[in-house]
Chains A and B, each alone.
Chain A
Amino acid sequence: MKTVFERTETLYDRPTHYCPGCGHGVIHRLIAESIDELGLQGRTIGIAPVGCSVLAYNYINIDMIEVAHGRAPAVATGLKRCSPDMIVFSYQGDGDLASIGAGEILHATHRGERFTVFFVNNAIYGMTGGQMAPTTMLAQTTTTTPTGRRSNREGYPLQVCELLATLPGAAYIERCSVHDAAHIRKTKRCIRHALQLQLDGVEGLGLVEVLSPCPTYWRMSPSDARKWLEEEMIKVFPLGRFKG
C-alpha cells in the first residue's frame, strides 16, 4: 500500500478533545507540520492560551507554556526577549486576543516584537459555552446575544488584521481560513511563511488570523458551519494579506 499522508513528528498520536468540525485540530496540525518542515521542533516555544486550545501542549510536542487569559503577547515578549534564538509563537482565540488581551496584542505589535501569533477567529467564546466574542457577527445569536448581535448595542465585529496592519511594528499580517482543503493548504503556507520570517530575524510581529468553524456553538452541523464561514464570515473578515 502507498502512504499518502502521515502524521508529522511534532504532532502527538492522541485522541482529540475538540468537537467534530472544530478548526483547532487542523490548525494545530498545520503549525506542527510547518515546524517540522522548517526543522524547528527543538528550538520553538509555543504559548497555549485560555480557551478551547488551552491543552494545545497535549498535541504539539515542543516546549510550551500556558498563560493567563489574553496575556500571551506579554508572555511572548518575555520569552523572546530572554531567548532571542528561540522561535516563539502564541496561539490565541478571539476572546483571548481581541477582547481581554486587546491591550497586549496591540502593544506587542506596536513594539515590533519578533514573535509570531496564530489567531483563531471562530466568532464566539467556545470554552465557556458560546458567548459573544468581539468578532461575533451582526445578528449572530450567542448565549449573551440571545436575540442576535446588534451594532447599536454590542458594536461591530472587530477586524483585528485591519487594525494591526496600521502599526509600523507589524511585519506580516494575513487572514486565512480552514473551511475547505484549498484554504487549509493556503493557511499552511501562511503559517510557514510567518515562522520563516521570524527565523530570518525580520523586525516586527507576524500574525496569521485563521477563520475557523465552531459547529457546536454556532449550533450547526460541521458542513453547515463550513458553509456559513465561507458565505457569511469571509464577507466581514476578508481573506488576504494586510501587511508584509
Chain B
Amino acid sequence: MLEYIFFSTINSLLYGMLLFMLSSGLTLIFSMMGILNFAHASFFMLGAYFAYQISQFVGFWPGLVIAPLLVGVLGALVERYGLRSVHKHGHVAELLFTVGLAYLIEEIVMLIWGRNAVPYQIPNILDFALVNILGTDLSAYRVFMLVVSIGMFIFLFLVLTRSRIGLIIQAALTHPDGVSTLGHNVPGVFMLVFGGGSALAGLAGVIGGNYLITEPSMAAHLGPIVFVVIVVGGMGSLTGAFIASLLLGAIQTFAVGVQVSLSDLLALFGLTPEPSGLLKDFLRIQISHTGPILPYLFMVLMLIFRPKGLMGKRET
C-alpha cells in the first residue's frame, strides 16, 4: 500500500509536470492573444519526432536542446506568418486556423515518419533503476524527467517575475495597448510568447515521447486533456494551470489503481441493490476504468459550477 502511494505520487507528479509544460504555454497564449491554440499539442508531438530524428544522427542529448528550439522557431514562424494575418478576420478564423494546422501537422508527420510509432527510446545512460524503494524499482529516466520539468518550471517562474521581458509579458496579459503605447513591441512579444510556448510543448515532447509512445496520434490524445487543464485552472492563470496540472495528474494516476466499483462503495454502506440490465453494468464499472473520462467529467462540472475555473479572472 505504501509502495502504491509512493509510486503513484511520483507518477502523478511526473504526469502533472508534463501537463504543466503544455498548459503553461497554452494559457499564456490564450490570455495574451485570445487564441485557443488547438495545434498546441501538435508542437508537443513535433518535439518528440524531432528529438527522435536528431537522436538517430547525434544521440539523445543534443536533441534535448535542439528539438525544443526548432519547435520554438516553428511556432514563432506560425505566429508571424500565419496567425498574424488571420488575426484581422477575428477569433473564429484564428481558431479554425489552429484546428487546420493540427490536422496538417498530423498528416505531415505521417507522411514523413509513417503511420506507426517510431522507436524513440530513452537514452541508454538513463536506462537503469536508480533506486529500489519498497521492492519496486524507480527508473533513472523518471527522475530525470522530473528534474527537467521542475527545472523548467523554476526557469519559467524566474523569467516571468524577475526579467524585464517577463514583466512586459505580464503587463501585456491585461493591457496590451497600454504596453505598446509605452514603446514596447507588442507584436514581437506575441511572437516570442507563441514561440516560447511552442518550445515548452516541444520540450515536453522530447522528454515525454520516449517515455510514452511517439506516434501520429499522440497529439490528438493529449490535446483535449491540456484544454481540460486550462479550463479547470482558469483561462489565463499560470498558477491555476499549475494546480490543475498536478490535480489532473493525480486524479488520473490514482484512479488507475483503485479497483473499486460503485456497487462496492454502496456495499460499504450496507446497500446491495440487485439491479438488472444497464444499471447493473453501470454499477460494476471499476473506478480504475474511469481514469480516461474523469478529466472531462471534471471539466464539464467545472464549466457548470465555476466557469472561470479555479484561479481564472475572466468569466468566459
Partners in one complex: no
Residues on B lying within 8 angstroms of A by beta carbon are none
